[in-house]
Structure 1
């Protein structure tokens, strides 16, 4: 049985950001873009991403064809770890985002990039959100760690330390690396869903790769408009899950 953390009381009203996915409105061209991105990225990630991610792709049947319908996706995901996805029209405020995570709810954009945007899109679309994030939510340890990130986010924002939790999230959930056996593998969704940066993070000769710790990661700034100049490498998937689970918002 999956573990749960009692969510903090929320006044953020995150439910106000939830909309209908409007799955029937996705065009054949939209579904073709998903299929192109999926098959290209799945092929690239073999041997580059953590095994749990590939397991999640299979468990959730994300390569079945076209943009996943959230009701069908949730039927599988909730049974595995108690998480569910909801549609949102774009980025949601940090308070609402972390409140969602604290209740095992993951927001998914209701749109997909155009074919001329295959390699880069500044605002995350449903491919980034579903392909990049959701496979790891099928892993029991990361499912629990993501809920804890939500708890930490709510606490940190309430304490005026939103930057602290933003850096923790960025350097693990979005752009984290870790060791799996003898290899360094991709953990973060920003890397898993990026054709170019997935390669650069592991193979770029000028990239700095630092050993991960909560203290180091939460002190390190990041770029949201360019490839990262450095990445943090956790000792293992279990190590990053434990580090997040045991993290505490620092007292000023």
Structure 2
């Protein structure tokens, strides 16, 4: 009887622990993020020249502090006046002059921007995901800028139609961002663009090392693994060192004997001139 009661209690305890863990995991992954997202009340559209490395969900920072995430990305071709081309038929569409990406940032707080503001994409670390970093600028540069913000209805309108709310005006009216070429971004971009070459270089180095370490597969391997050839090579190097040492001693002897030779040369020249009757 007691054993049955203990078994039932163990089953109930394990089941309770399981459901507590499920509820806790749901709270951490669903409820708390949803509660945090409810506080992200600002839709902040910006224009990017390229969204490479940026995806929906990428972090947005203001002066290094997380203030939101990328809610939506849309590629948009532009006409000569900077307006979004909406026609899908090639026969009626206006010719495309350039292409940009409009990113909508879901922000917790409204950034205070000044004329010297900077909004750029960068890597906070070499192996991390790209983020959008906002530097608001300073009051010394001029009066505060009031960027265009959208509410939920305007955000839905843009997602469904692809047109800017309030009329298809030029995208230059939105805040412009840029890709910042800081060292980490340069290194990360170079590594990302040349990862195939880097992988091939590492593979070639590994193959070369294996060949060197494998006996009988090349001149270097023979020099390292054939004892007879290695001894002969060492003997030749020792002989070469001896020859170099003897040559250095010979050069020193010649330098020391240079003074007596110069004195004899001057003495002989003087005697010959006297014998020839030449004045001193």
TM-score (norm 2): 0.17
The structure that has the greater radius of gyration is 2
TM-score (norm 1): 0.18
